[in-house]
Amino acid sequence: MKRTSPLLILCMMSHMVISQNSHDYFPPRQLTTVGAYYYPEHWDESQWDRDLKKMAEMGFEFTHFAEFAWTQLEPEEGVYDFDWLDKAIGLAAKNNLKVVLCTSTATPPVWLVRKHPEILITREDGTRYDHGSRQHASFSNEFYRAYSLKMIEQLALRYGKDDRVIGWQLDNEPRSTVDYGKDAQKRFRNWLQKKYNTIDVLNRAWGTNFWSGTYSNFSEINLPQHKQWGMNLYQRLDHSRFCDDETTTFLDEQASTIRRHSGRNQWITTNFIPMYDARFIGASKELDFITYTRYMVYGEQEGIGKKGYRIGEYSRIAMANDYFRPLTPLYGVMELQPGQVNWGTVNSQPLPGAVRLWLWHVFAGGS
């Protein structure tokens, strides 16, 4: 496992053969397949063939590229570089590995951030995130959405009919982005107007006669200050629903863009973190099925027995399977912890055999 330590295990499976688009995706003999994430942009090009060959020799059946590679795909605005990805896909095919492509939207390039800093999430106190991390752009920002879809369209034009590519992952672990920027304010007001139609209906629904909170038009409504004591709870609830809907529509726009240029046999999904109060999970109308991410050992569960902290809490997989099963006829696990992480409270190495145990638990649970 030394050579695959930087990789993330992923598996695509199904508990049901029939779904709206499952006829060609996963025939019965392929319901338990395992692959590995690979990041060619992290490694010297001379290593790619060796690494992919090792993956194939270990029994992996597919790999996953371009999860966080927007800068490599579009190093300058409107200048696209697919040569490196062409080579990586070619080497994967040479080693009989299918490819899953990602849309890379979780990591906007610095040229975009500096040209349009308004794409960055604005916190409630008015300060902004900055470049240098991931998932720091707002799903409510019009520039971010527009540039994302331009880049995704170029990806789809190049690989949408490529038989070596079996499917697409949108973004990475998408969640609601709570943004206090101008675009978010504008879109929230539009969302409210679409939901309530008239300001009188909104006032009645929100109970704004209390504390003299009545509005005369939608333009008077701001994003709720969640840290301010006594803010209208219905306004806060609608804001949370709005943020969830922004995630859903962003994913649907990405999927629609890909589908305009992709072949019938390429599926589209994303990998949700199991968040049991998230309304956007399962809300998308454009995904062919949904998948989830699960990490088991990062210092927050003791598990069972003296070494349980190196195996994790078994119910985390069981609960995730039970949660996702009713949401979509076809579902699976896109990302499963392969080894030690660097972001937990205590970064223990999983016990030898733990990853195999998790895989069997995932399969047994119907993923």
Catalytic residue ranges = 173, 335
Report CA-CA distances (Å) from 337 to 4, 9, 103, 171, 334: 12, 6, 21, 18, 10
* Phi, psi for residue 79 in degrees, rounded to 5: -105, 110
Residue 239: in which H helix or E strand, if any?
A: helix 233-259
> 109-124 as b/e, with b when 16 or more CB fall inside 10 Å?
beebbeebebbbbbee
Among the listed residues 11, 118, 71, the one whose alpha carbon sits nearest the alpha carbon of residue 362: 11
Return the half-sphere exposure (C-beta side, CA atoms, 13 A cut-off) of residue 193: 13
Q: How far is CA 97 from CA 2, 24, 49, 55, 332, in A?
A: 20, 18, 12, 9, 19
Structural element, H or E, at residue 100? strand 98-102
User: 145 in helix, strand or coil?
Assistant: helix
Q: Tokens for 138?
A: 């707002």
53: Cα separation from own chain's centroid: 28
C-beta neighbour count of 18 within 10 angstroms: 9
The letter for the amino acid at 131 is H
76 DSSP 8-state letter: B
**How far is it, in rounded angstroms, from Cα 254 to Cα 256?**
6
What CA–CA distance (Å, rounded) separates 350 from 363? Answer: 19
Dihedral sign, CA of 354, 170, 282, 13?
negative
